[in-house]
Structure 1
Amino acid sequence: MNRKIEVTASLEVIPLGLLTESESKLIHKAKEILESAHAPYSKFLVGAAVLLENGEIFVANNQENVSFPVGICAERAVLSYVMGNFPNLKPLKIAIAARRLNEKAYAYVTPCGMCRQTINEYEVKFGDKIEILMLNGQEEVLKADGIEQLLPFRFHNLHL
């Protein structure tokens, strides 16, 4: 007998003016750090900011390399840094912002598959969801309450 597995995902769309103070600060930090991204090949600048449970915020941006795929995404860069240096502090939120070089408008962006799996890894490690905030080009933020909204059939905790 065949079975059908259905998954429903949802994102909350929040105007920038309605973000909480911590959400607004994270988005601002992600926007700031994307300006120093090293993206000479794709011309796509990405910044990410992570809020840890102790209130500290860390940021990183994408770093490309001519020897593709040696580069690293902003999300994985910042998560690798904080988990390498603060392995026992839970990440609560991650904010992502992007824009194309020479364009003023921010691009619609969500984490790539590798970044989604990396976020999942730390949700599993800490047994708690990481809120994901993604700036879009309409001065809004797409908010996922955890990685399952972006990666429903992830490696860990898949119970069918």
Structure 2
Amino acid sequence: MATVTLKGNTIETSGNLPKIGSKAPDFKLTATDLSTRTLNDFKGHQLVLNIFPSIDTGTCAQSVRQFNKEASELKNTKVLCISKDLPFAHSRFCGAEGLNNVVSLSDYKNGSFGKTYGVDFITGPLESLLSRSVVVIDEHGIITHTEQVSETVNEPDYSAALKALK
């Protein structure tokens, strides 16, 4: 279990992010077309997992915009934006914003991604949503960078995530 804060108040997650150097755990997430996507679907690509509570909050929306901007300049890299929002919310947001350099995925069906990656909140007002985190996975499926943002209202360290891709 990890602890972070939300506006200074402590909240807990179900576990800890996977260790750097370990093989990335597989996942099943729902895409905006309602298909199921797994880690294997992105085999051979570097991945940035941009994990957040809800696309309908300012900080979460900004992280999707920022990674969309950065992803347009990255080779062999996919940015997966993951939350428990319904796929329709992801589609609406990215469509309205004109964002097409990220892959929106939802953990709404059974929450297995949040449990596997240790990022679902188990206490506090965001209970059952996902903790703001970033996981970078290399093209061989090995985790090269992780960050669980200590204050949930803050943005992730984009430069550290991007540096792990080089």
TM-score of the two chains, using structure 1 as the length reference? 0.31
Structure with more helix by fraction: 1
TM-score of the two chains, using structure 2 as the length reference? 0.30
Between 1 and 2, higher relative CO (CA 8 Å, sep ≥ 6) is seen in 2
